[in-house]
Structure 1
């Protein structure tokens, strides 16, 4: 049996450990179409969107259908350029395209709405099995006003979506959300527990609030080898001028009750909540010094390295982090990004975003492309993704993750699933990259002492307001 031709346009690819169920998917389309396609081409990301799991599923699909599947993978920046180029020239080269949520407002006119295909597909585990908040953020848009937010709902309901003037434009295949990896071995160490209780008059437990998190970060910032230099920090942050910086600030902003824009898309992140969020973020770096001095250049990559080599007791990232084998006795656990109490209610606001599989409007095999997307995001296939540690998007897949043999993997999926249900997505705007970079600059200006928090955010809000007007908002 011929295997798919899979072209990897990357210099390297990390190996992802396989855990959990090792069976192949038994999925079959309940309404198979008579296909005229002999090959389907998929334009996809690399490890950031779980390419190994998707490639394996594509191989299975070819074996089941006889249709060749060609998966071309590119790292993020190259993929974005490739997607925009292919669509702008109305190319039919690729049938399915992986779309990160910030791209959707720019490219939606080049995509095929998939609402009619879903309506024609009889399935016992349909779109109502997707995590609703994730599905709405990733896939549901008004083509004429992509900035418009869809209705909130606990369970995806296609009739309500269409009645409100929206369509479905992709099927969610991989999700990311800001969570915390931590050194479980340090938290469970009896000497640490006694010392922490003596100093802070409470147990050393998983923190629920940012204040509790900060106390723990202070406690674990220490000189372990007694050479007069700090060699372990309490936490990591992603404070470099990078999208990761925006993700951090955006999460703190929502935790403190703020938001980036109001209903009219006027920037409001320079509110009192925004200033408080930035000053709190900065205090961990500048005042309490619970992060490495190098944190002003950290993105998610550097955070993973620092945590992995035992340089931090806790670390925030959009995926689970692991320890290097040289970190003797190290054990990793996971918990949700803490929050802040507002009127007796704990408010959390972790950043989240997802990849969706969208149909190229210019594809000559749209029906077949939908069948492939439906397969790659189906319940059975997503359960199989667990052995690749894919960030799945269906409720049933998270339920299945409870039976994964490895404790740390079960724990991560539990934290990931809960976090996705409360996550805060990116703004639905065409000039997202410009807005993100402007806020990144403001954060850096404050952290490097060039401006105070209020001035940095006010100046950024003024610039963002101008950029929004220039983009027609």
Structure 2
């Protein structure tokens, strides 16, 4: 179902998607006015949100129009609308990296939250996710928010922050795997004989590599490898940056220090890149064309049975022709640091933000509050939406589909340890620079140390040019 809406919305570059009429809203909206939402397509769960908007209209009589755009078109549309101070859209879907660039054009939600009856519901959001995607200092958006396990609005504002969006969809790097292959008795016996331990879900990167090596094989005995242990998103793309950033985190590295100096060329950064590259170049546990893979190609390769495991920011399914195939999920493995297992999967979220130039800000907030509410998020589960509330994940434990139930359990746990993106205005430039360094190493043009050192020097210059 999600696949179908992705196709239908990908062509909506004129913003046409869902339209309806609107009666009076206690005098605040005219009989012909509609609340308008500028939203993404499948990457932010558009099917679930459009359905919820329809329900909102039925319940309140307030008209809602949801205009959907694929990611790149949406980013361009958002920046254009806000730069010209357009009041066309009341609510805007914001991917976290955009916030430092556009925060001056958004309306802080804190006053509306304080006035709303649902203020206490903030503590139902996953705290780490809410803080990363929604809590910013308008004048210094690069500032990291306070750490807290439960959202406390008073603490947030006392520290100089405001709430700028409500999280509606979350993404985090997880691993899909062929549960049927893991449970196969012949595979289990062969793995135990070779590695002297049970074939089970890996918790460390070393264990993951062993399993990837085990499942890399010639299944039809024609002399050619036709199944690989894992996929990676190793193309020069944002997906490749997500992969490297996750490896960097589990090896204990960071992109920047507290003063926004680039530090990804540390020993941890070099180790992360060399490990990532060794799976492709030395161990050859990935498909041969993996240097072209993004999240789309990974899904195709895994779905057609070319890999036993695959990393992606959403759940993956098998093609119907793979009869007997069963998909399971587990958290991205970590790296042991003494007795501590360090995990750091990439994560990020979409939030609903109020356009500063909207003529219906209060009504816009009420709509955003509804679309991200606990009851509505529980309904989102049937659309496989990546929900953002604790109560929605608790409700997911009752989902009948075992595979989906397992995915939500893994997604929720992964979000609690995920590592977000840097809060910088020039995020795209930084990502592009790191992507280039990773590709230079993977294609043999530079060693890992040289590639990362040169990239760090360029990022340092970019940061200075951006005023950091």
TM-score normalized with structure 2 length: 0.94
Residue 21 (structure 1) aligns with: none
The 3-state SS of whatever aligns with 1:306 is: helix
- Residue 355 of structure 1 pairs with residue 350 of structure 2: yes
Partner of 2:77: 82
Tell me which residue corresponds to 1:384: 379
Contact kept, 8 Å, 1:220 with 1:234, in 2: the verdict is: yes
Equivalent residues in 2 for 1:234-273, closer than 5 Å: 234-273=229-268
CA distance in 2, matches of 1:12, 1:328: 35
CA contact (8 A) 1:179 1:318 kept: yes
Is residue 174–residue 329 contact of structure 2 (8 Å, CA) maintained in 1? yes
Contact 1:33/1:368 (8 A) holds in 2: no
| Cα pair 2:10 2:70 within 8 Å, conserved | yes
How far 1:123 moved relative to its partner? 2.3
User: Larger relative CO (CA 8 A, sep 6+): 1 or 2?
Assistant: 1
Q: 2:100 aligns with which of 91, 105, 114?
A: 105
Matched, 1:168 2:163: yes
The alpha-carbon distance between structure 1 residues 135 and 426, as it changes in their structure 2 partners (threshold 3 A), is same
Check whether the contact 2:123–2:150 (CA below 8 A) recurs between aligned residues. yes
Give the alignment of 1:433-472 within 5 angstroms: 433-472=428-467
Question: Structure 1: which 5+ runs fail to align?
Answer: 1-7, 14-31
Map Cα deviations across residues 225-284 of structure 1 (whole Å, 9 max, x no partner).
Answer: 000000000000000000000000000001000000001100000000000000000000
Report the CA distance between 1:377 and its aligned residue: 0.1
Report the Cα offset of residue 12 of structure 1: 8.5
Trace 1:147-166 onto structure 2 (pairs within 5 A). Answer: 147-166=142-161
- Determine helix, strand or coil for the equivalent of 1:291: coil
Match of 2:61 in 1: 66
Question: Corresponding residue for 1:409?
Answer: 404
Q: Does 1:188 align with 2:183?
A: yes
| d(CA) in 2 for partners of 1:35, 1:322 | 46
SS of 1:315's equivalent? strand
1:234 alignment partner, SS class: strand
Indicate yes or no: 2:201 matched with 1:206.
yes
Please report how far the alpha carbon of residue 293 of structure 1 lies from its aligned counterpart in structure 2 after TM superposition. 1.1
Instruction: Number of aligned residue pairs: give it.
Output: 448
Matched, 1:35 2:28: yes
C-alpha displacement of 1:438: 0.2
Matched-pair contact (CA < 8 Å) for 1:125–1:379: no
Question: Normalization by structure 1: what TM-score?
Answer: 0.93
Paired with 2:124 and 2:241, the residues of 1 have a C-alpha distance of 31
Query: Following TM superposition, where does structure 1 have runs of at least 4 consecutive aligned residues deviating by more than 6 angstroms?
Result: none
How far did 1:124 drift?
7.4
* Secondary structure at 2:306 match in 1: coil
CA shift, 1:343, in A, is: 1.6
Taking the TM superposition and a 5 Å limit, the aligned residue runs for 1:220-299 are 220-299=215-294
Hey, what's the Cα distance between the residues in 1 that align with 2:323 and 2:392? 33
- In the superposition, relative to structure 1, how do residues 400 and 34 fare at CA in structure 2: closer, same or farther (>3 Å)? farther
Asked whether 1:311 is paired with 2:306, we answer yes
Q: Cα deviation per residue 1:392-450 (whole Å; 9 max; x = unaligned)? A: 00000000000011100110000000000000000000000000000000000000000
Give the SS at the match of 1:313.
Answer: strand
Alignment RMSD (CA, Å): 1.2
Residues 99-147 of structure 1 show CA distances to partners (whole Å, capped at 9, x for unaligned) of 0001000000000000000001122751110000000000000000000
SS at match of 2:11: coil
Cα distance, 1:33 vs. partner?
A: 6.8
Which sections of structure 2, spanning at least 5 residues, go unmatched?
1-7, 14-24
**Residues 9, 72 of structure 1: 8 Å contact kept:** no
Query: What is the Cα deviation at residue 327 of structure 1?
Result: 1.1
Aligned mate of 1:393, from 384, 388, 393: 388
Superposition pairs of residues 17-32 of structure 1, within 5 angstroms: none
Is contact 2:12-2:68 (8 Å) kept? no
The 2-side partners of 1:188 and 1:134 are apart by 34
